[in-house]
Amino acid sequence: MSEAWIADRMRHIEASGIRKAFDLSKKMVDPINLSIGLPDFDVPDSIKEAAISAIREGQNAYTLTLGLPELRTHIQQHVDTEFGHADRPVIVTAGTSGGLLLALCCTVNPGDEVILFDPYFVMYNNLVALAGGKSVLVDTYPDFGIHLDRVAAAVTPRTKCILLNSPNNPTGAVASADEVAALARFCQERNILLISDEVYKTFCYNGPFASPASFNDQVLVVDGFSKSYGMTGWRLGYAHGPSQLIQEMAKLQQFSYVCAPAPLQKGVVDAMNLDLTAQAAAYRAKRDQVVQALSGLYDLGHPGGAFYAFPKVPAGYASATEFAAAAIPHNLLIIPGNVFSKRDTHFRISYAVNDRTLERGLDVLKQLAAGPKKA
């Protein structure tokens, strides 16, 4: 095959460090896999049965590009109740990632700048590159908070949008209502689009979730069913925001994803009425278990949400990459911080695993906290 066949844009797209860990896990015997953000609970039975019934009843054709009307109505009712905006229509997307890709491709011109908070989810900078934009990283260490002075210093005439993820992957940090409100109003004053990735909003442990759309009616919210309902493989997401942008996203979806999977859309028509407190409580308990086990051994804050922790590498290791490599002989898979950040000082663990796997992983981390073994 000729290299000339490969588009220049692919030089700016990096292979996922998370996917590398996923592939490595398939070659290991009984791995302790704390690397993947994959809920360990299954899809609720009522959703399964609704999707199965839709398939059996022949509801397997394309839906409208904007989504199945009854699903959009279901989501729209919740959005209108929460925000009460006059102009906030909904589009159903092929996963949250599909919604983010549509949003960035519909807003970012070549050379435009998109501000990301470092650490950031690995997909973000690659989607920005695919859209032809440039990622500008705003440091959030050591508290992983939103520092508005740092944001203001990063803004240039080419700044098109800011991408916020709270609760955050990889840190588990949850932006406070004050932080979110200040950022939302900043963007409104500067005419900068704020995109809010809210896929983990079900998992907030220290207080209620705050969306920037509560403070700025021009915010684009991207959300989905994958994490909250244990259906990462269903590829169902949605977005809501100003109608002009939603219309452009629908136009692009017509010629890319076409629509989200039809019978699976039918399955989640009533999903947002389900009670997810049990799932959130289970992960709150796992969060507490992680913090308790690693306290005093690692520099680790108290993650407020999602199902991730982002400890600092203990003394003796040159980098998180070295630390993650040292974990592999113990059958432990974790993700080094440089997958998510300019820094390589921390590592991500996912506690979205069964209790036995989490206990085994924490035992290994306790051993590794003493530092590398002397030769």
Residues 10 and 104 in one domain: no
172, 193: one domain: yes
104, 141, 344, 346 from 119: Cα distances, Å = 19, 8, 10, 10
Query: What value does the mean pLDDT take over residues 73-85?
Result: 97
Q: Identify the DSSP state of 16.
A: P
The answer to whether residues 26 and 49 belong to one domain is no
Domain count within the chain: 2
Please report whether residue 235 resides in a domain: yes
d(CA 250, CA 110): 21
Same domain, 97 and 218: yes
Phi, then psi, of 325 in degrees rounded to 5: -65, -35
Residue 30 is predicted with a pLDDT of 82
Q: How far is CA 306 from CA 152, 155, 184, 252, in A?
A: 27, 28, 21, 30
Residues 163 and 22 in one domain: no
Which burial class, exposed, middle or buried, applies to 22 when counting CB atoms under 10 A from its CB (0-12, 13-18, 19+)? middle
Distance CA 352, CA 354 (A): 7
One domain for residues 210 and 286:
no
pLDDT digits (tens, 9 = 90+) for 8-31: 888 888 776 565 665 665 666 788
Domain stops at, among 219, 240, 273: 273
Q: Is residue 373 part of a domain?
A: no
Does 218 map to a domain?
A: yes
- 135 and 244: one domain? yes
Domain final position from 217, 248, 273: 273
Q: For residue 167, what are the domain limits?
A: 45-273
303-341 pLDDT, tens digit per residue, is: 999 999 999 999 999 999 999 999 999 999 999 999 999
**DSSP tag of 295:** B
Measured distance CA(202)–CA(263) in Å, rounded: 24
CATH of residue 235's domain is: 3.40.640.10
Q: Is the pLDDT of residue 79 over 90?
A: yes
Same domain? 337 vs 347: yes
* 374 belongs to a structural domain: no
Average pLDDT, the chain: 94
Q: Is 2 helix (H, G, I), strand (E, B) or coil?
A: coil
Contact of 86 with 99, CB cutoff 8 Å: no
Cα 365–Cα 371–Cα 375 angle in degrees, nearest 5: 125
**Mean per-residue pLDDT for 342-350?**
97
Residue 190: pLDDT over 70:
yes
- Residue 145 inside a domain? The answer is yes
One domain for residues 315 and 191: no
Three-point CA angle 157, 159, 12, nearest 5°: 125
pLDDT at 116 over 90: yes
Is 137 in the same domain as 248?
A: yes
On whether both 88 and 11 belong to a single domain, the answer is no
- State residue 17's pLDDT score: 59
Q: Does a structural domain hold residue 36?
A: yes
